[in-house]
Amino acid sequence: MPSYSARLSAAIRRTGNPVCVGLDPRWNNLPAEIRERSTAAGGSLWEQKARGFEEFSRRIIEVVKGLVPVVKPQAAFFEECGPAGMAALWRVMRHARQAGLLVICDAKRGDIGSTAEAYAQAYLGDDGDGPGQGGVDALTINPYLGADTLQPFVDAAVRYERGLYVLVRTSNPGAGTLQDICDASQTKIYQHVARLVEQLASSTRGTDPYGCVGGVVGATYPAELLELRQAMPHTPLLIPGYGSQGAKAADVAAGFGPDGVGAVVNSSRAIIFAHEKKEYAAKYSPERWEEAVRAATHDMIRELAPYCQPGTAQA
Amino acid sequence: MPSYSARLSAAIRRTGNPVCVGLDPRWNNLPAEIRERSTAAGGSLWEQKARGFEEFSRRIIEVVKGLVPVVKPQAAFFEECGPAGMAALWRVMRHARQAGLLVICDAKRGDIGSTAEAYAQAYLGDDGDGPGQGGVDALTINPYLGADTLQPFVDAAVRYERGLYVLVRTSNPGAGTLQDICDASQTKIYQHVARLVEQLASSTRGTDPYGCVGGVVGATYPAELLELRQAMPHTPLLIPGYGSQGAKAADVAAGFGPDGVGAVVNSSRAIIFAHEKKEYAAKYSPERWEEAVRAATHDMIRELAPYCQPGTAQA
C-alpha cells in the first residue's frame, strides 16, 4: 500500500479538489425520514440513534464518493451512543473506504506509553481480525502530553501506512488559551507544536513531498494558517472551520502549498445538513435532502477552485 | 445525589485511604485461566480479548471493593477491542459502581463546541436509557484546545453531579515538551492550566471544600505536586505514576492537603498484575492471583498511611 500522504495526494488530484466532508451526525438535524425509520425499528433510544447515524452517514458517503477525496467521521457523536454507536462508526468507516474515500477518524486521542500504543493499535492497526482493520486512513491526536506520547502513534502510522493529524491551532474561539502563550523568545505554544510536527513529518516522508504526520490548523485563523503552511513545508494540513464556523475560501487559500495538495479543508454541517439551509431548502424539498448535500458539496468545490488547482501542479 | 467531591471525600474517609486502582487490562498479563476461558468461548480475537478484560476487571473489582474508594478504568484498552470492548467497559463501570466504588473513566477526551457536549453527555450524562447512565463518576479531559472547550464538560459535571480531572502535569518522561514551557513572566504552561482548573474548581464547589473539577498531576514530579497542591487548594487531584512508573509514598505526600482527602493516588500494573511480581509470585501460586492483588492493595494502603490520615482530619 502506498503511504498515507501518497494516497491522499493521489485522491486530491483524482477528484481535483481538497474537500473533506465531516460526518458529524446529530439526531435533531437528521432528515425526518431517517429519524422515523430508526425509531420505528426499536431498541433503546441510543440504539435508535446509532441506527439513524449509520444510515445517514452511509447515504452521505454514497452522495460524495467520487466527488471528494476524503471524509472525516467525528467519533464523539457515535461514542455518545455507546457500544452500538461505536459499532456503527466502524461500519461507516469501512463503507467509506470501500466506496473509494479516504477516512480521517476525528477522535483527538492522546495518552502515555502503552496506553497510547493501545489507541494507536485501535485506530491504525491492521493485524488480525480486529475492529480497526482497514477502517481508518488517518487519526487526529492531541499533543499536550508531550513528544514521547506522540511516538507510539507515529510508529503505528509508519508500520501500517496510515496518517496522523496532530492538533496545532484549533478553530474554536478560545483556541488561544494555551496555544497562543508565548515563551521568552516570543515563540507561541502552537509554534512549538508546529516545529515538532514538521520534524515528524519530515522524518517520515521518505521520497514523498509530505510525511505521514499532519497538523490540524483552523481555517478561522487565516494569518496563522499562512505562517504555519510556511513553517511546515512537509506537513499535510487538515483545515477545519470552513462553512458553519465562518471561514471562507479566501481564508484557506494559504493552506494548499505550491503543489496544491498540501491540505484538505473540512466542512461538516454546511454540507451534511444543507437541507436545513434556506438557499438549498428553497430548491430541494425535504425528501430530496441528498440532492441538497450534493449541491452544497459542488458549491464548496467551486468556491475553493480559484485557490487550489491540484490537478495541474503535478508534472 | 451529593456532589462528586462530597462523594469522593466520604469514600476516602470510609475506606481510610486514597488508593485508586487502575483497571488497565493487557491481554498478555491476564492470568492464564482467564485467557484460556476467554479464548475457548470463541468469537473474533477482539471479542475474546474484550471478554477476558471484562472478567478480569470484574474480579479485580470484587477484590478491592470496600478496601479502596475508587477505581480508574483506562478506556484505551477496551477501545482497542472495538465495540465489544466498549460494551465491556460500560458493564465493568456499572459493576464497579454497584459494588460501592467510585469510577473515574480515564479517556482523556477533548474537543470543541457541540462535539465536546457529545463527549460530556456520553460519559457524564444521566438522561434516558443511554450507555453512560450511572456508569461514570468522573472523566479525565485534555485542556489543549482551550478554556471554552472545557466548559461543556463542566456544565455537564455540574448538571449531573459528576467530576472531571483536567490534565495539568502528566507523569510521563516527556511531559515537559509543552507543559514546562515558560511565558515571559516565568509562568509555565502547566501553571496556566492549574490556574484555570482552580478557578473552575473554586466556582463549582458551593459549600464543599473541593469543586467538581480536578487536576491530573503525576506522582513522578514531587516538586511540582507540592507546588500545585498549594496553587490549587479547591481542586481534587488525581495522581498517577505510583508503583510501576516509579513514584513512592513520600513522593505523593504533598498531594493530600491538610484534610487528607485532597487527592487519590492511582496504581495500575503494580496492583492488578501483582501476580507477576517476584515478591507476590513467591507467596501466591498463579491460580491465587486475586490474593496477590489483595496483598498488593493492602501494601499500597500501608505505604501511604503515614502520609495520609483522612479519617482523623474531619471534625
CATH second-level architecture of A4-306? Alpha-Beta Barrel (3.20)
Residues B307 and B252: beta-carbon distance below 8 Å: yes
Percent of chain A surpassing pLDDT 90: 90
Residues contacting A199, CB < 8 A, separation 6+? none
Residues B220 and B246: beta-carbon distance below 8 Å: yes
* pLDDT confidence band for A86 (50 / 70 / 90): very high
The pLDDT of A217-222, averaged and rounded, is: 93
Are B80 and A144 an interchain contact pair (Cβ–Cβ within 8 Å)? no
Distance of CA A273 to the CA centre of its chain: 17
pLDDT in tens, A158-203: 999 999 999 999 999 999 999 999 999 999 999 999 999 999 999 9
Are B81 and A130 an interchain contact pair (Cβ–Cβ within 8 Å)? yes
More confident residue, B31 or B129: B31
pLDDT tops 80 at residue B187: yes
Partners of A108 on chain B (C-beta within 8 Å) are 109-111, 142
* pLDDT confidence band for A23 (50 / 70 / 90): very high
Closest Cα in chain B to A80: B122
CB A180: neighbour CB atoms within 10 A?
A: 15
- The pLDDT score that the predictor gives to residue B312 is 54
Cα–Cα distance, A136 to A157 (Å, whole number):
11
pLDDT tops 60 at residue A274: yes
Closest CA to B122 of B148, B114, A252, B170: B114
pLDDT in tens, A42-68: 999 999 999 999 999 999 999 999 999
pLDDT tops 80 at residue A311: no
The pLDDT of A264-293, averaged and rounded, is: 97
Cα–Cα distance, B249 to B263 (Å, whole number):
13
Are A146 and B115 an interchain contact pair (Cβ–Cβ within 8 Å)? no
Q: Is A116 exposed, middle or buried (0-12, 13-18, 19+ CB in 10 A)?
A: buried
Residues contacting B46, CB < 8 A, separation 6+? A128, A129, A130, A131, B80, B81, B82, B84, B85
User: Out of B86, B109, B113, whose CB is closest to A172?
Assistant: B113
Q: Kindly report the CATH class assigned to B4-308.
A: alpha beta
Phi, psi of B89 (to 5 degrees): -55, -45
**Sign of CA pseudo-dihedral B202, B203, B209, B215:** negative
- The pLDDT score that the predictor gives to residue B313 is 47
Residues B311 and B16: beta-carbon distance below 8 Å: yes
pLDDT tops 50 at residue A313: no
Q: What does the block give as the cell for A158?
A: 509508519
Closest CA to A166 of A114, A237, A75: A237
- The pLDDT score that the predictor gives to residue B114 is 93
pLDDT tops 80 at residue A315: no
Residue with C-alpha cell 467519533? A75
Task: Identify from A121, A172, A199 which residue to disrupt to test chain B contact, counting B C-beta atoms within 10 A and taking the largest count.
Answer: A172
Among B49, B72, B108, B278, the one annotated catalytic: B108
Range in A111-115, A133-137, A198-202, B203-207 the model is least confident about: A133-137
Distance of CA A11 to the CA centre of its chain: 14
Are B177 and A118 an interchain contact pair (Cβ–Cβ within 8 Å)? no
Residues A231 and A190: beta-carbon distance below 8 Å: no
Among A108, A188, A278, A283, the one annotated catalytic: A108
User: Out of A81, A115, A175, whose CB is closest to B76?
Assistant: A115
A138-141 and B102-109 strand pairing = unpaired
Task: Identify from B111, B141, B169, B195 which residue to disrupt to test chain A contact, counting A C-beta atoms within 10 A and taking the largest count.
Answer: B111
Partners of A115 on chain B (C-beta within 8 Å) are 24, 74, 76-77
Partners of B26 on chain A (C-beta within 8 Å) are 114
Alpha helix ranges (H) inside B207-305: 222-231, 249-252, 269-272, 278-281, 289-304
**Sign of CA pseudo-dihedral A91, A92, A95, A97:** negative
Q: What does the block give as the cell for A4?
A: 498515507
So where are chain B's domains?
A: 4-308
* pLDDT confidence band for A244 (50 / 70 / 90): confident
Partners of B119 on chain A (C-beta within 8 Å) are 76, 79-80
User: Out of A74, A167, A192, whose CB is closest to B145?
Assistant: A167
Q: How far is CA A313 from CA A9, A249, B30, B162, in A?
A: 11, 19, 54, 53
Closest Cα in chain A to B112: A172
pLDDT in tens, B15-25: 999 999 999 99
Cα–Cα distance, B173 to A189 (Å, whole number):
19
Torsion angle of C-alpha atoms A273, A275, A279, A280, degrees rounded to 10: 120
- The pLDDT score that the predictor gives to residue B129 is 47
Residues A37 and A240: beta-carbon distance below 8 Å: no
User: Between vectors from CA A58 to CA A54 and to CA A59, what angle results, nearest 5°?
Assistant: 120
Residue B89: half-sphere exposure toward Cβ, Cα within 13 Å: 31
The pLDDT of A245-261, averaged and rounded, is: 92
pLDDT tops 60 at residue A10: yes
Closest CA to B75 of B59, B87, B67, B64: B87
Q: What does the block give as the cell for B135?
A: 456508569
Q: What does the block give as the cell for B91?
A: 458493564
Task: Count A/B contacts: CB-CB distance under 8 Å.
Answer: 210
Residues contacting B152, CB < 8 A, separation 6+? B113, B114, B116, B117, B120
The pLDDT of A79-84, averaged and rounded, is: 91
pLDDT in tens, B121-176: 999 987 544 455 567 999 999 999 999 999 999 999 999 999 999 999 999 999 99
Cα–Cα distance, A201 to A212 (Å, whole number):
6
- The pLDDT score that the predictor gives to residue A132 is 52
Are A145 and B170 an interchain contact pair (Cβ–Cβ within 8 Å)? yes
Are B174 and A143 an interchain contact pair (Cβ–Cβ within 8 Å)? no
Residue B65 bears catalytic tag: no
pLDDT in tens, B292-305: 999 999 999 999 99
Mean pLDDT over each residue of chain B, to the nearest integer:
94
Q: How far is CA A175 from CA A22, A58, A214, B224, in A?
A: 20, 32, 18, 26
Bin A186: left if φ > 0, else alpha if -120 < ψ < 50, else beta. Answer: left
Partners of A219 on chain B (C-beta within 8 Å) are none
Chain A: give the shortest CA distance to residue B166, in Å: 11
Residues B79 and A119: beta-carbon distance below 8 Å: yes
The pLDDT of A301-314, averaged and rounded, is: 83
Are A76 and B111 an interchain contact pair (Cβ–Cβ within 8 Å)? yes
Cα–Cα distance, B87 to B49 (Å, whole number):
12
- ipTM, interface predicted TM-score of the complex: 0.96
Residues A32 and A289: beta-carbon distance below 8 Å: no
- The pLDDT score that the predictor gives to residue B127 is 59
Torsion angle of C-alpha atoms B153, B159, B160, B164, degrees rounded to 10: 30
Residues B123 and A75: beta-carbon distance below 8 Å: no
What predicted TM-score, i.e. pTM, was given to this entire model? 0.97
Are B142 and A193 an interchain contact pair (Cβ–Cβ within 8 Å)? no
Residues contacting A301, CB < 8 A, separation 6+? A16, A17, A19, A67, A68
B70-73 and A70-73 strand pairing = unpaired
Partners of A192 on chain B (C-beta within 8 Å) are 177-178, 181
Task: Identify from A28, A80, A105 which residue to disrupt to test chain B contact, counting B C-beta atoms within 10 A and taking the largest count.
Answer: A80
- The pLDDT score that the predictor gives to residue B243 is 87
Range in A123-137, B138-152, B269-283 the model is least confident about: A123-137
Cα–Cα distance, B85 to B83 (Å, whole number):
5
Residues A66 and A100: beta-carbon distance below 8 Å: yes
